[in-house]
Amino acid sequence: MSAFVKVALLGGSFNPPHVGHLMAAHYVRATQDVDEVWFMPTFRHPFGKASVPFEHRVRMCDRMCEDASGWMKTSRVESEVGKDGRTVDTLEFLQARHPEHRFSLVIGSDILKDLPHWKDFDRIQKLVRVVVLYRAGYPAEGTVGPPLAEVSSTDIRERLARGDPPTDLVPSKVLVHAREHHLYGL
């Protein structure tokens, strides 16, 4: 057994979290030799993507983690790095803070087209193992596993906007939080 805690990081807006994120976490934990999966909501999105406040997205991710036995967590680290939300800076910060952990970075294949615009993706690949999941609709070289759920936060926000509650796509505890706080027009 490794002396290190092996942590897979799944960064994103989580606006809101959905079953695609949940399935991705389960898939990674089941197949990619990791002990924990951490959801890492954006604080300052590098491309300026607008979302409901960070605290709500953290709390919705927490609700999504509640039924797992501690291996699925939410990290507030993006609010602590103090820079402009670039993943390379977050990874350096986490590695300095947790020398006892071995991190990997998980991304969906929809993100591959954006990587030329990321800061220092070459350095990211030197710092950590990068796992690219096959997001349904985005086939690409080098992905792992079968196509994962065809669901996005964008679809969910659109359904909410037209009064069609996406109870089949969002963990029920996440929807409870969104309802209690009147997020997304609920």
Q: What ranges in the chain are assigned the alpha helix state H? A: 19-31, 54-65, 87-97, 121-127, 153-161, 172-180
Q: Whole-angstrom Cα distance, residue 92 to residue 49?
A: 23
- Residue span binding ligand NCN (CB under 6 A) among the ranges 52-60, 113-121, 157-165, 178-186: 113-121
Q: Which of residues 136-165 bind ligand ATP (CB under 6 A)?
A: 148-149, 151-154
Q: What is the closest distance, in whole angstroms, from the C-beta atom of residue 95 to ligand NCN in the complex?
A: 15
Residues 24-63 within binding reach of ligand NCN (CB under 6 A): 40, 42, 46-47, 49
Our CA angle for 8, 11, 16, nearest 5°, is 125
Total Cβ atoms within 10 A of residue 102: 19
**How many residues sit in the footprint of ligand NCN (CB under 6 A)?**
16
Residues 105-124 touching ligand ATP, rule: CB under 6 A, are 107-108, 110-111
- Residue type at position 177: H
- What is the smallest separation between the CB atom of 88 and ligand NCN, expressed in angstroms? 6
Residue 75 within binding range of ligand NCN, rule CB under 6 A? no
Alpha-carbon distances of 38 from 15, 27, 68, 182, rounded to whole Å: 16, 13, 12, 26
By the criterion CB under 6 A, which residues form the site for ligand ATP? Answer: 10, 12-15, 20-21, 24, 107-108, 110-111, 133, 135, 148-149, 151-154
